[in-house]
Every structure is written in structure tokens, then in C-alpha cells.
Amino acid sequence: MCSCGMMGVEAEVVDALCEAGLLDPEGDGRFDDIVVLRLWDLKPYLERGYAPAQLAHDIRDGKLEVLLGELLFDVAETFDVEAAA
């Protein structure tokens, strides 16, 4: 994954966000429009000092609701097959 210098985010931070599963959850390595939207949505939290791993944890646990979270990040409740039946 490349850095997004035009958004003022360091390459190391972009890599850490990818490793945390926040930017490229599909693992395709493409820096497409959805990745840019995800980065734009996370940038204010990064600027406030959130570490990428903590962001991922808080979003997934529902402790942090980012602006476009339900659309851009996998925050939906999941069920096992038994519970879904």
C-alpha cells in the first residue's frame, strides 16, 4: 500500500492502518476510492493521537463510532450459524 501524502498521512501510519485491517480489509493492495474515504474518515482520530491498532479495536468493539463507520468498516454484529437459524 502506498502512502497518501496528499492527505498528510505518513507511509508508516498507512501501513499500520492496513495491518489493523482498517484501510485494506480485502487485502488486495489497491489504493482506491474506498481506501481514500476510509483514510479521510480516520484522519481526525489519528490527529488526536489514536494509534491505528487502538482505532481498529475501538471501532470493532463499538466504543468509537466514526462518521462513515457502518458504510466503510465492518462493524455489523455477526452471528454464528446456530444463532442465525
Upper half-sphere CA count for residue 61 (Cβ side, 13 Å): 7
Q: Per the confidence metrics, is the pTM higher than 0.75?
A: no
Tell me the domain boundaries of the chain: 5-84
Whether pLDDT at 78 is above 90: no
| Average pLDDT score over residue span 26-46 | 82
Give 3: exposed, middle or buried? Use CB within 10 Å, 0-12, 13-18, 19+: middle
pLDDT score recorded for residue 38: 83
35 versus 44: the higher-pLDDT residue is 44
